[in-house]
Amino acid sequence: MLKQEGRVAHSATSDLLRSIRAFRLHTADFQQTVSDFYASLDTPVSLSCAILWRYDEHLQLAQKEVDPSQYLDADSFGSDLAAVSFLRKSTALKTGIDLKKVALQSFIEAENNCKRVNTQLRKDLSSGQLHPDDWYVLNAQIRKIDRILGDFDIDAMLDRCSWGPGSSLSIRGDDTSSPHKFDSECDITQGAYDLFFPVLRKAYPSWGNLDRLRIVKGNSIVTVPKNAKTDRTIAIEPGLNVWIQLGIGRLIRSRLRFAGFNLDSDLKN
């Protein structure tokens, strides 16, 4: 009964989201709305945005930026930031940019940068060539992390495990509800299996899917819309990995909150 009610609620939410996504403002009304918005801001930057919009210079409009260091008051900066940001996520901008390609290139560059740093750190640490100042900073960071996080508590982690709201490697489509995942989810990586399977089996003895787990290589990197200049890369994870990751993540958040760092608040951004 609970599974059925959960699926009905999820279906109703999906129908509402589909109807919202299907709504489209008439092209002429949309054009006028954009022009009126720029006019309402009434700044040189918003005027330049309006001109670029009027003459279909979408690439220049998407690339337009403002520098906060060049402003003397917050109101002027806010108006200009609103102007350059207004259409940044709009699919109406035809920039000619391969958004997926840009996103994947940025992702690969970031991963390669991390790899270079990690390789150099390991080399310096193993050879004893790390600069004394860097050694001090590294050890100070290690001590601070150890003091805040403390010892790992497997029971506290298991209490915080749950499914994520979205898709996984094996669960796609409209029904990504928790009941459906309990029925069908069985993907896990070898590393996660080796570390956590004995614990999961003991903690959840009646969870039938744990008897038919499927070992997968890893996650899948895909892109989703971000703005007019680039897509965003996301990782679609194996379902059981998500279950474990959310438990560990929430445990870390709780330890951080106890130390005065509340990740649910922007006060210490």
Q: Are residues 122 and 191 in the same domain?
A: yes
Using pLDDT thresholds of 50, 70 and 90, give the confidence band for residue 9. Answer: low
129-137: list long-range contacts, CB under 8 Å, 24+ apart. none
Residue ranges making up the domain that contains 136: 98-269
pTM, entire model: 0.76
Q: Are residues 178 and 47 in the same domain?
A: no
Assess whether pLDDT exceeds 80 at residue 2: no
Assess whether pLDDT exceeds 60 at residue 1: no
Q: Are residues 172 and 51 in the same domain?
A: no
Q: Are residues 43 and 170 in the same domain?
A: no
In the predicted model, what is the mean pLDDT of the chain? 91
Number of domains within the chain: 2
Q: Are residues 61 and 182 in the same domain?
A: no
Q: Which two tokens stand for residue 158?
A: 């298991």
Q: In this predicted structure, what is the pLDDT of residue 7?
A: 58
Q: What pLDDT digit, counting tens, does each position of 148-179 carry?
A: 999 999 999 999 999 988 889 988 888 889 98
Q: In this predicted structure, what is the pLDDT of residue 11?
A: 67
26-32: list long-range contacts, CB under 8 Å, 24+ apart. 30/92
**In this structure, is residue 90 part of a structural domain?**
no
Q: Are residues 131 and 260 in the same domain?
A: yes
**In this structure, is residue 192 part of a structural domain?**
yes
**In this structure, is residue 93 part of a structural domain?**
no
Using pLDDT thresholds of 50, 70 and 90, give the confidence band for residue 26. Answer: confident
Q: What pLDDT digit, counting tens, does each position of 61-83 carry?
A: 999 999 999 999 999 999 999 99
Nearest to 238 by CA among 177, 163, 142, 183: 163
Q: Are residues 202 and 246 in the same domain?
A: yes
Q: Are residues 53 and 153 in the same domain?
A: no
Q: 252 near 156, Cβ under 8 Å?
A: no
Q: Are residues 123 and 252 in the same domain?
A: yes
Q: In this predicted structure, what is the pLDDT of residue 269?
A: 64
Q: Are residues 105 and 188 in the same domain?
A: yes
Q: Are residues 248 and 175 in the same domain?
A: yes
Q: Are residues 139 and 233 in the same domain?
A: yes
Assess whether pLDDT exceeds 90 at residue 208: no
Q: In this predicted structure, what is the pLDDT of residue 10?
A: 61
**In this structure, is residue 169 part of a structural domain?**
yes
**In this structure, is residue 202 part of a structural domain?**
yes
**In this structure, is residue 92 part of a structural domain?**
no
Assess whether pLDDT exceeds 90 at residue 200: yes
CA distance 241 to 54: 49
**In this structure, is residue 149 part of a structural domain?**
yes
